[in-house]
Amino acid sequence: MNERTCIVRRKSAEPDELIRFVAGPDSAVVPDLKRNLPGRGCWVTADRKHVELAVARKLFARALKADVTASPQLADMVDALMAKFALGALGLARKAGALALGAAKVEASVRSGAAAAVIHADEASEDGVRKITQARRAVVHLGGPAIPAYKLFSEHELGLALGGTNVIHAAVLAGDAGKVALKRMAALDRYRGGSPDEVAMRAAVAEDENAAEDTE
């Protein structure tokens, strides 16, 4: 197997689709999300299911060619690290002025084309999410991009990361400053088994268009 082949699927993939693992000083398997830890590494498809399978099948010892121990909580450890990185990136985006906070500002940034992605806290109300979703749908209906929406963090987690309280809705703004945050969120979302609802959004727009044609 080449260097970037998933030890579970035994198929190669791009680096962003994989997570690197190495043996720590105590012979415990540790995730190397930044891919800069020394020593022999192995790769696993970047989602929880494959990390859990690698642990259950005891694949790390063979891949790392060492007597290593993979914690049963390794998948949780990866999730926590990825969440920490994503929240940190969001905090930096806020400092760089690449984040809009509050339902009204998020909706406005979506409709103006300034938003690259939307974030809803776990506690977000259906009504608040619906209004922003309608704005996202309108953008696609007018030929614009499908703006992904993520629900990855609690209000408390977002508040701590962004230096505020009652952070329910936010938007990562288009441009260089928000790219890292968007990349980190997308990676965490994939790891947790979700995906941006671009396809669902386009399907909804298509249904709207078909309904409009039927009434003509």
Per the CB < 8 A criterion, the answer to whether 158 and 191 are in contact is no
* Per-residue pLDDT reduced to its tens digit, 40-97: 999 999 999 999 999 999 999 999 999 999 999 999 999 999 999 999 999 999 999 9
| The predicted structure's pLDDT at residue 195 | 62
Residue 203 is predicted with a pLDDT of 55
Q: Other C-beta atoms within 10 Å of 204: how many?
A: 16
Helical packing angle, 74-95 and 176-191, nearest 10°: 160
Output the pLDDT for position 7. Answer: 97
Q: Inter-axis angle of helices 103-112 and 126-141, to 10 degrees?
A: 10
- What percentage of the chain's residues is helix, strand, coil (to nearest 5)? 50, 15, 35
The predicted pLDDT at position 215 comes to 47
pLDDT of residue 163: 87
How far apart are the C-alpha atoms of 200 and 210, rounded to whole Å?
Answer: 15
- The pLDDT value recorded for residue 99 is 95
- Give the DSSP per-residue string, 136-181: HHHHHHTT-----EE--S-HHHHHHHHT-S---EEEEESSHHHHHH
Domains, in order of start, for the chain = 15-72 (3.30.1230.10), 81-211 (3.30.1330.30)
Q: What pLDDT is stored for residue 202 in this prediction?
A: 52
pLDDT averaged over 10-residue windows placed end to end, the chain, 216 residues = 82 94 95 94 97 97 94 98 97 95 96 95 93 95 93 95 89 90 95 69 56 50
In degrees rounded to 5, what are phi and psi of residue 150? -125, 145
